[in-house]
């Protein structure tokens, strides 16, 4: 093992795969990257990216396991290996499609599929997190080191296990002259704030609240499962948000909770959205107004959290994730915020691939033994090397 890692470290350029399945469970993001160096000297090129759709039947079973009352230990056991196989097949298909061989891949970084996340202890439950997608299955197919289960070491060091991407954001986007907020809008929204000329200890990062999660579930409810997301925010663009409801929603205790903090489906998932949509329907709101309300809610939480917790101005907001393609959501951000709104594409990157790329780069750091969490973002007591290594 030591000889293999030493040989890998001696390569001038390494080809890695980053794998990510988010809280929306709509597909596996697969990024192939070329990486040089490590730490603050690291540089990379994105070689390929694809989103591989998760089969509907498997997606339904994953969602069943999100519910503590419906999950079962045998189903979780099986699902862990099934997801490992799914990540393998997704990665293999992208490798072959873009002209690579399995033997060309030097390492894999897999975030896995989050099943449950408890960043703050609850009655009878300790702080913990669970991601599935067995790394050994991937190591067996590709014959290369696999770094997985990134969150748990940060939590062991007293952190919340998220967000983890800010380490990569700091390496790639920090500026001496401009204060930048990088907002990922996946199922959950999370921000990395880089004050002008900041050091790693000055980076601010946390989950702002719901991202696409409520919007996606709402459109699914309203269309009886015919649509899984509001494409481009088109339905929302035809409606008007209920401002009274928005003020009430913003009173959720999460938004006043001090940082660092993280959240997930446990708070803003299916049950939350069903109750909210039912409430709006009882008020007589048409579908377009319901979608406008939940879309503006996501934008409002982002801007609200900036004003409460960033501690400084934002010159430029750079949006990534699926939310970057929701023009209505971006419009609300421009309306509510006092900053320029851009997307990753404005910088030559991809809004879709950002997190998958990030986990490939985090894996690269792990292989070099470089601490790759930011305690200022996660609340950990100290910087630690994230992930479990499977050879």
**Co-location of 213 and 249 in the same domain:** yes
Assign residue 96 the CATH number of its domain: 3.30.420.40
Q: At what angle do helices 270-282 and 213-222 cross, to 10 degrees?
A: 60
Verify that 328 and 340 share a domain, yes or no: yes
Question: Region 277-290: what's the mean pLDDT?
Answer: 98
Per the confidence metrics, is the pTM higher than 0.75?
yes
The answer to whether 30 and 355 are in contact (CB under 8 A) is: no
- Tell me the binding residues: 22-29
Q: How many whole angstroms separate alpha carbon 155 and alpha carbon 128?
A: 7
Is the same domain home to 365 and 330?
Answer: no
**Count of structural domains within the chain:** 2
SS3 248: helix
Residues of 62-100 as b/e, b for ≥16 C-beta within 10 angstroms?
beebbeeeeeeeeeeeebbebbbebbbebbbebbeeeeb
What tokens appear for 264 in the block?
């997930």
Confidence (pLDDT) at 81: 98
**pLDDT per residue as tens digits for the range 32-85:** 999 999 999 999 999 999 999 999 899 999 989 988 888 899 999 999 999 999
**3-state secondary structure (DSSP) of residue 339:** coil
Q: What confidence tens digit (pLDDT) does each residue in 204-242 have?
A: 999 999 999 999 999 999 999 999 999 999 999 999 999
- 40: phi > 0 → left, psi -120 to 50 → alpha, else beta; which? alpha
For range 376-391, the mean pLDDT: 95
Pairing outcome for strands 180-185 and 316-320: parallel
Between CA 1 and CA 107 the distance in angstroms is 13
Q: Give residue-wise pLDDT tens across range 123-162.
A: 999 999 999 999 999 999 999 999 999 999 999 999 999 8
Instruction: Identify whether the C-beta of residue 26 lies closer than 8 Å to the C-beta of residue 54.
Output: yes
Do 177 and 157 have their domain in common? Answer: no
Residues 137 and 259 in one domain: no
At 139 the pLDDT is 97
Query: Which pLDDT score, from 0 to 100, does residue 220 have?
Result: 96
174 lies in the same domain as 159: no
Determine the pLDDT at residue 22: 83
Q: Are residues 251 and 381 in the same domain?
A: no
pLDDT at residue 9, as a whole number = 82
Quick one: pLDDT at residue 162? 87
Can you say which residues are annotated as belonging to the binding site for ATP? 22-29
| HSE-CB of 263 using CA atoms within 13 angstroms | 24
- Average pLDDT of the residues of the chain: 95
Pair 278, 153 in one domain: no
Are residues 202 and 119 both part of a single domain? no
Cα separations (Å) of 59 from 231, 321, 373?
20, 20, 30
Q: pLDDT band at 374, cuts 50/70/90?
A: very high
Instruction: Give yes or no: residues 329 and 357 share one domain.
Output: no
Domain that residue 135 falls in = 2-163+353-390
299/302 Cα distance (integer angstroms): 5
pLDDT for the residue 35:
97
Q: What does the alpha-carbon distance between residue 175 and residue 319 come to, in Å, rounded to a whole number? A: 17
Average pLDDT score over residue span 350-357:
91
């Amino acid at each position: 093992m030591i000889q293999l890692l030493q040989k890998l470290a001696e390569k001038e350029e390494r080809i890695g795969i980053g794998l990510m399945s988010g809280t929306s469970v709509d597909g596996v993001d697969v990024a192939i990257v070329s990486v040089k160096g490590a730490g603050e000297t690291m540089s990379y090129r994105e070689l390929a990216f694809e989103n591989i759709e998760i089969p509907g039947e498997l997606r339904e079973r994953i969602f069943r396991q999100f519910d503590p009352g419906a999950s079962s230990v045998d189903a979780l056991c099986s699902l862990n290996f099934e997801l490992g196989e799914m990540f393998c097949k997704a990665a293999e298909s992208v490798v072959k499609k873009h002209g690579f061989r399995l033997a060309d891949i030097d390492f894999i970084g897999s975030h896995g599929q989050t099943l449950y996340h408890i960043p703050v202890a609850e009655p009878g439950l300790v702080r913990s997190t669970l991601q599935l997608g067995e790394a050994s299955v991937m190591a067996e197919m590709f014959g290369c080191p696999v770094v997985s289960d990134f969150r748990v070491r940060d939590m062991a060091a007293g952190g919340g296990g998220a967000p983890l991407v800010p380490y990569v954001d700091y390496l790639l986007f920090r500026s001496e002259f401009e204060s930048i907020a990088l907002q990922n809008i996946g199922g959950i929204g999370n921000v990395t704030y880089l004050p002008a000329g900041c050091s790693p200890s000055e980076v601010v990062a946390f989950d702002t609240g719901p991202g696409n999660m409520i919007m996606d579930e709402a459109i699914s409810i309203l269309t009886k499962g015919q649509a899984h997301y509001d494409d481009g925010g088109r339905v929302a663009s035809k409606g008007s948000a209920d401002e009274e409801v928005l003020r009430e929603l913003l009173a959720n205790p999460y938004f006043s909770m001090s940082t660092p903090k993280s959240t997930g489906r446990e708070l803003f998932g299916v049950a939350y959205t069903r109750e909210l949509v039912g409430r709006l329907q009882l008020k007589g709101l048409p579908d377009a107004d319901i979608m406008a309300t939940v879309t503006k809610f996501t934008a409002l939480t982002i801007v609200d959290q900036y004003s409460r917790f960033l501690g400084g101005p934002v010159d430029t907001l750079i949006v990534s994730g699926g939310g970057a393609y929701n023009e209505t959501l971006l419009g609300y951000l421009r309306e509510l915020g006092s900053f320029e709104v851009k997307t990753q594409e404005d910088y030559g990157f991809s809004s879709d691939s950002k997190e998958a790329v990030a986990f490939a780069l985090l894996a690269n750091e792990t292989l070099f033994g470089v601490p790759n969490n930011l305690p200022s973002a996660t609340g950990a007591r100290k910087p630690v090397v994230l992930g479990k290594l499977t050879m």
